[in-house]
Amino acid sequence: MSLLEDKVVPGRESRLDACIAYGGTACSLKGENKGCLKNQERAFSQSGLCQLLPTMGMLLTLPDTAVVVHGAIGCAANGISTVIGIRLRNVQKGNPNAKEGIWVSTNLTESDVVHGGEEKLEQTILETYERYSPKSIVVFQTCTPSIIGDDVASVIDRVRDKLDIPVLVAYCEGFKTKVWATGYDVAFHAIVHGFIESDKEGRPPRREPGNKRERPLVNVINLASVGKPDEDEITRLLNAIGIDVTIGPNFANRETIRNMTQADLTISVCPTHDDYFIDYLHKEYGVPYVLKDMPIGLENTRAWLLDIASHFGLENQAKAFIDAEEKKVLQAVAKYTPALSGKTVFLSAGEFRALVTGALFQELGMEVVGVRSYHHDHFGEEYYEKLVKNQNGKNFSIDIANFQPFELTNLLNKIKPDLFIGHVNDNIWAAKLGLPTVTIFRIFDSYIGYQGFYAVAKKAARVLKNFSFNKNLAKHTKNPYKLSWYEKNPFTFIKVQEAALSSEQNLMETQNEKGVAAQ
């Protein structure tokens, strides 16, 4: 199946065999059976995310779009932090008074749970259209209406007949997948079906193959969490070798998104974020793609840029540009490397981002001693080995976890790295252990390309210079675990799946347990 054919987006555990529970080392992961890994669970777990959050994180960025969250009121509480990021992006673009994102909740109550919420949803969509005059509306289906059997698809069909704007639909019930990154796929699915496939004007025609542009035009798939400095750097790198860029679909309007079908190449900045959409553009519009690297760190940026250049015969320009840029940036960071060289680093983020950032720190002379990845899939596979090879075979710990800070805290307490690199929301756990942290995914900073290489080196050296804030924090605050927890293996609660135990058998077992409980 594919984005075009899927009525509802499959969870990444089934589409990509993605796994969220594994503890071991970079070398041990290689030998694991993927079919078993994806079924691994925890007997004790902490709150993850549901797929609604990343879905909303992307779709709320669409300009002049109103989001209707069909569900209990708390599901729409998510918007509060999402709009801060969107507002700051507008500030970055010099537009601090841009219209704030609009989202509403159908606020399903106890009575709606009994009587159904379809009518309420339909009225809400129509009233949202009347009240805010948006250029498009996105409807989110959540757990509660899904369980009580609200037929959202029929409601969408009815309102599409009544409204002259695109109506997008995102099925993002939290209980449907344990891999919240599925939410990215849901957002792409909503965008493609809403703005392209079910659009009133129909889908744009496929571009004539002979219709050659003077300079190639490529799509760069952006992320809601990547800021303007990084987008500017991507544009600079590609423009420098003679390539024009369209950035989307986050923060892009319908026209820009439809035009993405006409590009000469689609470029991923994060394979694990983009593959579902890129595959669609390729299959339906014949747009070739680059989907294997992330331009973070020198080696990765080089590989990414050369790969793109090779599609257009621009390798020579690219090589010359890369050589010049590397030379320049290495000279510039030389003043920071003495403070960094020989230090150990632990990284925590989405798998791909964590791994490529690990390579960046290796290039600064540091050693990777641990990686916590939010999930694992084949996109990350070879990078674990690559990192081990880069540091002369030195293995490192890995924790595949949809957050689960209890494992992270235990692991950090054992490994005691010199520096912690964490996604937003991860750094606090390292901070409370007194470690210096470098945050990644701060939208005002650079991480990508040569600007990013320099900025990260500078920041790491600065943070290491004085982290008394965190050292004091560790002395005076406490993590919420018993001391005995730190003596245990951090992966004690992961229920390791033996091969051949299928998910159907899992269901049977649960059924039996339930039967026993009922007796």
Interaction between residue 100 and another protein (CB under 8 A): yes
Rounded least distance, CB 484 to another protein, Å: 8
- Closest residue by Cα to residue 75 from 52, 101, 54: 52
Q: Does 84 bind another protein (CB under 8 A)?
A: yes
Q: How far is the CB of 464 from another protein (least distance, A)?
A: 23
**CA distance from start to end of the chain:** 42
Please tell me the distance from the alpha carbon of residue 82 to that of residue 123, in angstroms, as a whole number: 25
* Shortest Cβ 341–another protein spacing (Å): 32
Q: Is 472 in the site for another protein (CB under 8 A)?
A: no
Per CB under 8 A, the list member of 26, 104, 155, 387 interacting with another protein is 104
- Residues 6+ positions from 273 with CB-CB distance below 8 Å: 181, 184, 221, 223, 350, 352
| CB closer to another protein, 133 vs 239 | 133
The nearer residue to another protein, 121 or 359, going by C-beta atoms, is 121
Binder of another protein out of 103, 336, 346, 361 (CB under 8 A): 103
Does 501 bind another protein (CB under 8 A)? Our answer is: no
The stretch near another protein (CB under 8 A) out of 128-136, 152-160, 285-293, 442-450 is 128-136
Q: CB neighbours of 353 closer than 8 A, spacing ≥ 6?
A: 270, 294, 296, 423, 440, 441
> What φ, ψ does residue 99 adopt, rounded to 5°?
-55, 135
Q: In what order do the strands lie in the sheet with 265-268?
A: 244-248, 217-221, 265-268, 289-290
- What does the per-residue mask of binding to another protein show for 251-290, with x meaning CB under 8 A? ----------------------------------------
Between 200 and 482, name the residue whose CB sits nearer to another protein: 482
Nearest-angstrom CA–CA distance, 171 and 152: 9
C-alpha–C-alpha distance, residues 390 and 367, integer Å: 9
Asked whether position 51 contacts another protein by CB under 8 A, the answer is yes
Taking CB under 8 A as the rule, which mask of x and - marks residues 16-35 in contact with another protein?
Answer: --------------------
Name residues contacting another protein, limited to 429-448 (CB under 8 A).
429
| The pairing of beta strand 244-248 with beta strand 65-70 | unpaired
E strand segments, 231-324: 244-248, 265-268, 289-290
Q: Is 239 in the site for another protein (CB under 8 A)?
A: no
- Binding to another protein by CB under 8 A, coded x per residue (else -) over 349-388, reads ----------------------------------------
- Tell me how crowded residue 299 is: count the other CB atoms within 10 A of its CB: 17
Q: Counting beta carbons within 10 angstroms of the beta carbon of residue 24, is it exposed (0 to 12), middle (13 to 18) or buried (19 or more)? A: middle
| Subset of 389-418 contacting another protein (CB under 8 A) | 402-403, 405-406
Question: Residue 22 pairs with which residues in a beta bridge?
Answer: 400
Tokens 């925890």 locate to 42
Give the containing element (helix H, strand E) for 300.
helix 298-310
- When binding is defined by CB under 8 A, the residue of 482, 499, 500, 519 that contacts another protein is 482
Q: Which stretch binds another protein (CB under 8 A): 98-106, 191-199, 390-398, 454-462?
A: 98-106
Q: Is 133 in the site for another protein (CB under 8 A)?
A: no
Nearer to another protein, 343 or 375 (CB): 375
- Please state whether beta strands 289-290 and 437-440 pair in parallel, antiparallel, or not at all (unpaired): unpaired
For the segment 162-201, give every residue that binds another protein (CB under 8 A): 173-178, 180
